[in-house]
Each structure stands twice: as structure tokens, then as C-alpha cells.
Chain A
């Protein structure tokens, strides 16, 4: 086919296009793998099929890898996923647009607000409503804080996977501070259901500025400590530099987004390139790497925490006043006090929460830059109160495709560093 020939000429992604045995992806079914294992004559070469996971401490939840090894070298690998599959896309077809956020927030449990945001943006696109300015800025504040907490979690797990066990405790400690603020605002540490179609569930509590300022003051020097503990440390660099290398063409060909794409030196960040919310109004830098290795992916995330803090500082100064949700009676329930005063308000409240609101028919796609890459929701409505179809473009699921290519030719110990640097969240991979 001429298409393939052209591709080889125009980009440097030949390696990821291979189909045969020279590909990094082990395309082997469970049944065939079992047969190879059962056949004593099969092992006439030095190759071994090794199973890693699904419950291995360094495989981040329930990721399972089927590895073809020669000695300690990984030749081919296959991420086996689906252990957490609970049919959340099917379930979304049963839940109203108002209930939908409670479902999607459970996908990427490390950055739940981003999925809520993408869901709300897609619904708002279909509804044709625009949310008030304060709601936009609250969404931005919460998402940037969530990016910080998600990357702090990465710092913790990445440290743990590489043997820097104290880092695990430090990362969790700082993340917990962010989650404490989330708990104050949304009532929950995770799975917030805070960003909803039409705005956010509640206004920020009194004294939120002081809380956020305290948080920024606390985390900023801690990041300097991480630099001392890890960034400049020879053992840390030795473990990550040059491990799991991908070039920009390969990352693009594999549909990778987020820190994995940016680590190759390709500056693509939806906040800057396809701005949503009020990102054009704040200053921040898109962090890119230059080698596309695990160290770059680590450094990008560390510096993205700093950039998020920069954005949060600007939001603190510029948070507008006004409504925190749209005053459109079709999608917004009446304020709590009105329910005590008026029968109509009570009925209105009851109707919205039992039947939901109808969304005009059509299809829409909304994408946000989550800590893991482009997180998009494709929504089809048939004019009823529940989505006809809701699809999530999960960055973890798609970025997982880079893993075999990152691992090929590496040692199994590097494999652990690579799994960690891809930072998959299995709740969103499996959905």
C-alpha cells in the first residue's frame, strides 16, 4: 500500500508502524500465550513470556503486562487492560445530564475535576449556554489545583517505584493539603461532582483566598526540596535519563498527548493552543522536554506544578464576583431558601433532580488539557434528559499505547520506571 511508503518518507515513526514480530507490541491472545506456556518444546530459544501484574505494587492499580523477555531485556510487551472495566460509558446512557458528573468523576480518580469539566463543557455546548464569569474562574482555579494534586501524586508514586520511598510520603503529604482544600470547597476529597453543567455546585467558602495562599506558600519550598532530593541527584538521573525514549513523530503517530508528547519537545497544550475557560487571560508557560525520556516526563510534571501555582496566583488576584452558576431555570435548581418559600420552587427543584433537564439533540465534543493529556467527551443527545451516547477520550488509555515502544530493548527494572513515567490511571483506562 502506497500510504505506508509515504509515511516512512514524511516522518520518523517507522518503528511504531511495524506489524510483524519486529514490532514492540506483543500481539498475542490469552489463549495463545497459555498454549506457549503449556508447550515444553516451545522454548527452544532464550525467550520467556513473563506476566507482570495485575496486582504488582509498581503497576499502578491493575495494569497487567505480558512481557516477552530475553534474559533481563524486554523484547515485546502487551499492556492487558480491562480489569477495572465497569461499563461507565454504558452507565452514562442511564444517568441524566445532572447525574452524569457523578459517574465521570470516578474515571480518572487522580484528577476528577477535569472529567467533570469536559462533561460539563460538552453538555453546555449542546445546550448552547454560557456560564457566568465567576464560574469560569472557579473552574479554572479548581482544575489548576487538581493538576497540582495529580502531579504531586505522580511525584509520590514515581519516587516509590524507583526506590525513593521517602518521596512517596512527601508527595502524599503535599497532595493531602490540596485535597483538604477540595474537601472544604466540595465536601469530598475525591469524586467531587463539583463542576456541573451550568457552573459549579457551590460558591467558594469564605476565606478561600487565605487557604489557597497558605497552600501556595507551603508547596513552593517543598518543590525546592524535591529538586534537592531527586532532580539533581545522580542516582535518580541514572535511573531515568535515556530510559524510555520516544521521538515527536512517534508520539504524534501513537496519538499521545500531554507530558508524553511534550517531553519530545513538541509544544502542544490545549490551554494555550485551543484555549477554553479563561486561559487566554492568564500567563503561563508550556513546559517541554528535549530528549523524550523518563527524566523529561518527570521534570515536565514537576515544573507544571510550578506553572499551575503561577496560574493560581493570578486567579487569586483576579477572581471576579457574580454568580457561580448560570441563572437559567431550565438547568439550574432554585436556591435552597426559595424552596421553603414557594411551592413552585419546590416542584421545580424536584423536577430537575428527578427528571433532569432536556438537552437539544445533536452531537458535540469538548476537550480539556488534563494532567495526562487531552481529555475529551464526545456526547450525542437525542433531545431527552439522558445522553444517547457519551464517549470519553481518555488520555491514559491512549497514552498506554506508547508503553511497549518505550520499553522495547530496555531492562525490566527500567520497565518499572517507564510504567511510572507514563502515569496511567487505570480507572480511566478501563472505564
Chain B
């Protein structure tokens, strides 16, 4: 009985340990991969070649004020921004979520436009909302906010406030 449990534990370790990387990124299990800016584009290209034919989603998270433990693998150094890219393999019906750490001082990542042109507006939105730039993007501009807007609203240090709007037709006598 005790031996069996030991053997089972050993086999489990054996199974888990070698699967630690996939497409050059760290595999955290459950379809979640961790990347850094350097491995991001190549990893995505490898995933695409392996059958992940559609980019389903691309967004970012600003972890500036995150109070809880980040729960990242030991090899991954936590940065302020994380770009979350979701890919889908239609033939195996598998999804992967690539979490890429992006440095706050130099928030730059390569674009995925050449792999999936559908990344264009998703990356524009991330640029608009978080100020993360995607190099070699065909049109790195704001998409939801006005072109001349200053600041990136979904950053955690972007204050929530209100702007007093004067109703022009209102009379002063009240």
C-alpha cells in the first residue's frame, strides 16, 4: 500500500517535471503558459505552427496595486504589466493562455500582426488603455479614446474621477 503510493508519487513527479516548457515558454499547467518579451513572438509563432490557428483574445493587466500573491512560476520574474494572449487550436479544441510579463519602464512587445492580423485592433486597444507599445505594428494608434487623449485609462494609477461639465444653456440664477 505504502509502496504503491510512493510509486504513484514518483511517476507523477516524472510526468510533471519534463512538461515544464512548451514552445519555449514556461508551462504552468491548465493551458497557461508564461513568457517574457524575448520569448513571446517566437513562442507564439511556434504555437501557431503547431495548430493554434486562431488568436482569440489579447489583453493586458496592470498588477501595480495587486494585493495578493501573483502565483507565478519561480522562473518568472513578476513585472507590472502582463499581456494575456489566448490562442485556440480548432482541431484539438484546445486553448492556451500566454501570460507575458512586460516591464513598466519599457512597456514594449513585438506585434502579432504578421501571425494573426486579427491582433491589430486588440493591440491598439491595449496600447490605448495601458500604454504598452507593440513594435512593427501597422497602425499603433488609439482606438477607443480620442487621438489627442493623454494617459492610459486602465492603468491602476490612472485616477477615477469626474470632470465637471458645464451645461451651457443653464442660467446662473437658481
Residues of A within 8 A of B (CB): 1, 3-4, 6-7, 13, 16-17, 19, 23, 25, 27, 29-31, 81-82, 85, 87, 89-90, 94, 252-257, 268, 273-274, 361-363, 365, 367, 374, 376, 378, 380, 382-384, 388-389, 391, 393, 397-398, 400-401, 430-431
Instruction: Tell me the bound Cα distance from A273 to B88 in angstroms.
Output: 12
A255 touches B93 (CB 8 A): no
Q: Is B66 an interface residue (CB 8 A)?
A: yes
User: Which chain B residues border A361 with CB–CB below 8 Å?
Assistant: 68-69, 71
Shortest CB-to-CB span from A108 to chain B, Å, is: 16
Residues of B within 8 A of A (CB): 45, 49, 53-57, 59, 61-62, 66-69, 71, 84, 86, 90, 93, 97, 113-122, 125, 129, 138-139, 141-147, 153-154, 158, 160
User: Which chain B residues border A29 with CB–CB below 8 Å?
Assistant: 141, 147
A361-B68, A361-B69 are known contacts. Are A7 and B115 too (CB-CB below 8 A)?
yes
A255-B55, A388-B66 are known contacts. Are A274 and B139 too (CB-CB below 8 A)?
no
B68 touches A252 (CB 8 A): no
Shortest CB-to-CB span from B83 to chain A, Å, is: 11
Task: State the majority secondary structure of interface residues on A.
Answer: mixed
B114 contact from A7, A31, A82, A268, Cβ within 8 A: A7
Shortest CB-to-CB span from B53 to chain A, Å, is: 6
Shortest CB-to-CB span from B155 to chain A, Å, is: 10
Instruction: Tell me the bound Cα distance from A397 to B124 in angstroms.
Output: 12
A389 contact from B61, B97, B121, B142, Cβ within 8 A: B61
B144 touches A430 (CB 8 A): yes
A85 contact from B66, B93, B145, Cβ within 8 A: B145
A85 touches B144 (CB 8 A): yes
Instruction: Tell me the bound Cα distance from A196 to B97 in angstroms.
Output: 26
Instruction: Tell me the bound Cα distance from A27 to B115 in angstroms.
Output: 19
A31-B147, A90-B153 are known contacts. Are A400 and B121 too (CB-CB below 8 A)?
yes
Instruction: Tell me the bound Cα distance from A353 to B83 in angstroms.
Output: 33
